[in-house]
Amino acid sequence: MTYKALGYPQDIGGCGLFDPVSCRVRLQAHHVPEHLVRLKAHPRGVKPSFALLRQVRVMSNYRRPRIPGATIFFTVALERRGADTLVRHVEALRVAVRRTMAERPFRIEAAVILPDHLHMIWTLPAGDSDFPNRWRMIKARFTHAGPNTRNRRASHIARREAGLWQRRYWERHIRSAEELAALTRYCWVNPVKHGLVTDPFDWPFSSIHRDGMPGVALDLGNQV
């Protein structure tokens, strides 16, 4: 994966080749997210610039928008891509979601659970915009239910983190019925996109079984 694909300048020149260990220390001192540290601390060396470090420092101070009663699409991923933890422990995830919903209600408009990540669409109650704490509770409860969290990095140990989840997740506030319908279809066809099944109805961990109708065309053309 290139820096350009991540939205960063492809030319990050400034200091030539370097020792990856010392570079990691330097980048962490500038609050560079760990996944970018791994990319930059490559044995072949790269060339970080102060402009990039300033850009990443702004990213580390990012504040998520808070809109009361919003409908929001989420992508939440495990730290180790390619794992099957979410489907292997899917009942623990369901319990974590149900317990959180009971304490801090929200409505699930659509959902799909894949082996190493999930997509969900939530609608928050009127006057409530606190989705970050809900996700924090869900992730903590799932982690404490017992999935294996070996191979923690030093940064996880320092932060007292289990290292199961990626620290960040992606959210998109939905602003129209058309956008909601499109993202719901995206959830439903995601197992097909990842090659897990050929028919969305064959994937068991999806809200398509609650809301979808067998035989109805899902317009897979732009989704797979």
Residue 80 pLDDT grade (very low, low, confident, very high; cuts 50, 70, 90): confident
Exposed/middle/buried for residue 32 (C-beta within 10 Å: 0-12, 13-18, 19+): buried
Q: Can you tell me the mean pLDDT for 85-93?
A: 95
pTM, two decimal places: 0.65
Strand (E) or helix (H) holding 181: helix 177-193
pLDDT in tens, 142-163: 999 866 555 545 443 444 445 7
Residue 102 has pLDDT above 70, yes or no: yes
88 contacts: CB under 8 Å, gap ≥ 6: 115, 147
Q: Which of 124, 123, 117 is nearest to 93 (CA)?
A: 117
Residue 62 has pLDDT above 70, yes or no: no
Q: Can you tell me the mean pLDDT for 170-199?
A: 95
Distance CA 219, CA 224 (A): 10
Residue 42 has pLDDT above 70, yes or no: no
Q: Are 41 and 18 in contact (CB under 8 A)?
A: no
199 contacts: CB under 8 Å, gap ≥ 6: 192
Residue 120 has pLDDT above 90, yes or no: yes
Exposed/middle/buried for residue 100 (C-beta within 10 Å: 0-12, 13-18, 19+): buried
Give me the domains of the chain, ranges plus CATH numbers.
Answer: 1-62 (no CATH), 71-222 (3.30.70.1290)
Q: pLDDT value at position 157?
A: 40
Residue 167 pLDDT grade (very low, low, confident, very high; cuts 50, 70, 90): confident
pLDDT in tens, 187-196: 999 999 999 9
Provide the percentage of residues in the chain whose pLDDT is more than 90: 52
CA dihedral sign of residues 204, 209, 212, 217? positive
Q: pLDDT value at position 69?
A: 95
Residue 134 has pLDDT above 50, yes or no: yes
